[in-house]
């Protein structure tokens, strides 16, 4: 099977909603703000995050994702604020999402806090039909889309302590049908449901271990389950592995360069037949956090 033919099959899966809908992340535990608005401000400091992901390297038109976000608590209140931009390119399509997140946190015990969040998103979708080869030239169902705008809203909850967290979120409540001339929806943004959780074990003063779980549910698609295990050494070096059920295995590494600057890298090796047509997926991110004399991280660096 040629790469172009395989790409057409993969893109068809995206368009009819039987594959990933939201952008895919291996290191979701560092990029929680994109899937759960209740995370905004939970680290207790102003946090800036930037990520680049190349998926299925070597396959023409494969997904490329860029994400930038900023989130912070508001003064000494229980309110958190976040903004994010996600640019996702898949074959002939480009999607830009700008989101604003607002959270409110209440203590539920001496060690646990419960955060509620809402998300507002402006989505701009583009389709360049010159990158396609339709059977019938001029087919009205295959016309360019330029910054096709759709708004959306989402919500989430996030229960966390210094040692553990669990969260549930729906980033977009509104299903968007794109390119639906003649009452035929060729591309659908379906509702994605996320459940996340993690726990930090202190093996010693120098070594911490955190297993984590992400599950994603989308109508018409198989349940996605991501399981990861990360070790933090001397509060500096992170090494870990992850498994995406029936899809990929991953290796992850990160390093705390300074108190504020952290860099991370992840590599995915596909376990499906797609592994015959690509050389894996690469993901790199940077996080920078601003501290004051009074500010501190209220949870471990793992989350």
Residue range 263-272, pLDDT digits in tens: 999 999 999 8
Location of structure tokens 């330029």:
146
Instruction: Convert the pLDDT of each residue in 58-113 to its tens digit.
Output: 888 889 999 999 999 998 899 999 999 999 998 888 999 999 999 999 999 999 99
In DSSP terms, 119 is beta-bridged to 101, 154
Q: Do residues 54 and 282 lie in contact, with contact meaning Cβ atoms separated by under 8 Å?
A: yes
Helix or strand or coil: residue 58? Answer: coil
Q: Kindly give, in sequence order, each residue whose CB lies less than 8 Å from that of residue 269, ignoring residues fewer than 6 positions away.
A: 248, 249, 250, 275, 280
Task: Tell me how far CA of residue 76 lies from CA of 109, 119, 139, 272, in angstroms.
Answer: 19, 22, 57, 48
Neighbours of 156 (CB within 10 A): 26
Q: How many CA atoms lie within 13 A of 124 on its CB side?
A: 8
- Measured distance CA(126)–CA(115) in Å, rounded: 35
Q: Do residues 70 and 83 lie in contact, with contact meaning Cβ atoms separated by under 8 Å?
A: yes
Which strand (E) or helix (H) includes residue 11?
A: helix 3-16
pLDDT of residue 126: 87
Terminal Cα distance for the chain, rounded? 42
Task: Tell me how far CA of residue 230 lies from CA of 42, 200, 211, 240, 291, in angstroms.
Answer: 20, 9, 6, 4, 25
Residues of the chain with pLDDT under 70: 1-21, 132-145, 178-188, 292-301
pLDDT of residue 288: 95
pLDDT of residue 14: 43
- Measured distance CA(178)–CA(140) in Å, rounded: 13
- Tokens in use for 174? 């509104």
């Amino acid at each position: 099977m040629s790469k172009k033919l395989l790409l057409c099959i993969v893109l068809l899966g995206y368009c009819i909603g039987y594959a990933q809908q939201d952008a895919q992340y291996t290191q979701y535990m560092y990029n929680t703000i994109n899937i759960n608005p209740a995370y905004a401000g939970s680290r207790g400091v102003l946090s800036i995050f930037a990520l680049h992901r190349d998926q299925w390297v070597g396959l023409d038109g494969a997904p490329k994702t860029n994400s930038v976000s900023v989130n912070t608590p508001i003064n000494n209140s229980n309110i958190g604020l976040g903004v994010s931009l996600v640019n996702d390119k898949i074959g002939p399509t480009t999607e830009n999402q700008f989101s604003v997140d607002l959270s409110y946190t209440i203590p539920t015990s001496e060690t646990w806090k419960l955060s509620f969040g809402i998300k507002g998103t402006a989505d701009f979708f583009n389709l360049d039909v010159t990158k396609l080869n339709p059977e019938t030239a001029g087919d009205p169902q295959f016309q360019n889309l330029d910054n096709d705008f759709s708004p959306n809203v989402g919500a989430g909850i996030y229960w966390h302590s210094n040692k553990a967290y669990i969260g549930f979120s729906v980033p977009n409540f509104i299903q968007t049908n794109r390119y639906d001339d003649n009452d035929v929806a060729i591309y659908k943004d379906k509702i994605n449901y996320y459940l996340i959780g993690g726990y930090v074990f202190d093996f010693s003063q120098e070594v911490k271990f955190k297993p984590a779980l992400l599950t994603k549910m989308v109508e018409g698609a198989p349940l996605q389950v991501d399981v990861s295990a990360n070790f933090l050494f001397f509060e500096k070096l992170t090494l870990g592995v992850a498994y995406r059920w029936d899809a990929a295995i991953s290796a992850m590494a990160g390093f705390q360069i300074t108190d504020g600057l952290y860099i991370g890298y992840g590599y995915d090796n596909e376990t499906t037949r797609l592994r015959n047509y690509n050389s894996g997926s690469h993901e790199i991110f940077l996080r920078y956090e601003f501290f004051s004399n009074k500010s501190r991280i209220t949870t471990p660096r793992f989350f």
